[in-house]
Amino acid sequence: MESRMNREERIERLKSIIREVPDFPKEGISFKDITPLIRDASCFSDAIDLLVEEVAPYKPDVIISAEARGFVVGAALAPRLHCGLILVRKPGKLPWKTMSVTYDLEYGTDTLEMHEDSLQAGERVLLADDVLATGGTVAALVQLVEKSQAVPVAGCFLAELSFLQGREKLDGIPVHSLISY
């Protein structure tokens, strides 16, 4: 079915399957739930195909994704882009020597870690996650990449909450989002 639709129709199809959950995780927030999209094999495959079309020109050496839903997107992209995947986790979850970055949240701070030998200086790194919201998590990924002297070449997301202006935290790194709210 996707092949007979143009790009905009394909994206609208994907957008229509994302569930909106009011007042989650707290009152006043309208959560964009991607689980119905990844449950549908055709839609998920199409979403990944569309992202690959956008980010392949960056020729990444590796993808970096944060737990948990970022892993889903990064793992689907990596083989199609012929590159590896680096998993970034909360403290204490990785078995080897780690490097970390602490970043600000709306109500405090959080920390992310990756193995210290995950990236090599000069490697081209694609940032991948499910949703770009405030940009805090992806900005932390950029910090980890830069601490490793690697190069963040672009960020890609299934969806973006553009009203939260998260892309501004990426300081000029190109951002590719299939769906914008």
**pLDDT given for residue 45 in this prediction:** 98
Q: What would the mean pLDDT of 21-33 be, rounded to a whole number? A: 92
Whole domain around residue 58: which residue ranges?
Answer: 2-180
pLDDT in tens, 41-87: 999 999 999 999 999 999 999 999 999 999 999 999 999 999 999 99
Mean of the per-residue pLDDT values of the chain: 95
Q: Looking at the annotation, which residues are catalytic?
A: 69, 106
Q: What is the pTM of this model?
A: 0.94
Q: What would the mean pLDDT of 122-130 be, rounded to a whole number? A: 98
Domain count within the chain: 1
Location of structure tokens 């000069």: 122
CA distances 167 to 4, 57, 118, 140, Å, are: 32, 20, 25, 13
pLDDT in tens, 146-163: 999 999 999 999 999 999
Burial class (CB in 10 A: 0-12, 13-18, 19+), 178: buried
CATH code of 33's domain: 3.40.50.2020
Coil, strand, or helix at residue 90?
coil
Q: What would the mean pLDDT of 24-53 be, rounded to a whole number? A: 95
CA distances 35 to 43, 71, 151, 179, Å, are: 11, 13, 31, 15
Residue whose C-alpha is closest to residue 67's, from 17, 113, 100:
113
